[in-house]
Amino acid sequence: MIEIRNLRKAFGANVVLRDINFEVARGEVVCLIGPSGSGKSTLLRCINGLERHDGGQITVDGDLVGPTTLPTVRRKLAMVFQRFNLFPHRTVLENVAEGPIHAQGRPRAEVLAEGKALLARVGIADKADAMPAALSGGQQQRVGIARALAMKPQAILFDEPTSALDPERVGDVLQIMRDLAAEGLTMIVVTHEMGFAREVADRVVFMEGGQIVETGPARQVMTNPQEPRTRQFLDRVLNPL
């Protein structure tokens, strides 16, 4: 469904993605892991056009990602951000309904009904009329996931969705993501949650220095990595003391 070939991205003289090549099949869950600054989040932002890549190409369900195709591509993709990115002046339900109503032109009554059902699905039906500031970080991230699902995307990009949460709330969000994976939703997840990557991902991609160092089936990469740098990274993350 998503194909990336020879992708390059630079900010001035700083090259942050170098010759990136990989594919994501429909229904596949791919976790991107690696140290901070390795280019993982920039890669996600290039896929949905929030950053314009400098070389190579990205194809989403047959459409090349570029300035003229962004509206089409973004109808197929949704994104869940690390810092939630909710509209602070709109209620929870309005945040969920904003995209389908204004970007997709769908009937308001239909979208609001679906929005309430999605809030129930992520366990915060009682927060529909609340403002984002009244919610915990975990609750705000659940709104972010409901907002992404409201667009009825073919795939969701998750950019470190648990890194801004209190540790006791991380499990709630990860369980929702596990459920989505079990339903066959295509997902690319930038994460530091190694247990989630091992248990839920079909494939893991380890990045460093803007390059893919190793990729393979999740359990293989997580338990028996082939590249020394991958082994070193996982040893430090899994055994910090």
CB-CB contact of 141 with 191 (8 Å): no
CB-CB contact of 45 with 51 (8 Å): yes
Whole-structure pTM value: 0.93
Reported as a single tens digit per residue, the pLDDT across 20-50 is 999 999 999 999 999 999 999 999 999 999 9
d(CA 220, CA 203): 9
How distant, in Å, are the alpha carbons of 34, 50, 99, 193, 234 from that of 231? 11, 32, 42, 16, 5
Reported as a single tens digit per residue, the pLDDT across 86-141 is 899 999 999 999 989 888 888 999 999 999 999 999 999 999 999 999 998 889 98
CB-CB contact of 5 with 57 (8 Å): yes
Please give the pLDDT value at position 18: 95
Question: DSSP letter at 65?
Answer: P
- Please identify which residue in the block is written with the tokens 């969000």: 173
Which domains does the chain show, CATH number per domain?
2-85+154-238 (3.40.50.300)
Reported as a single tens digit per residue, the pLDDT across 48-76 is 999 999 999 999 999 999 889 988 898 89
The percent helix, strand, coil of the chain (3-state, each to 5) is: 40, 25, 35
Reported as a single tens digit per residue, the pLDDT across 132-175 is 999 988 899 899 999 999 999 999 999 988 887 777 778 888 88
Please give the pLDDT value at position 162: 85
- Please identify which residue in the block is written with the tokens 């962004």: 70
d(CA 222, CA 234): 7
d(CA 22, CA 218): 15
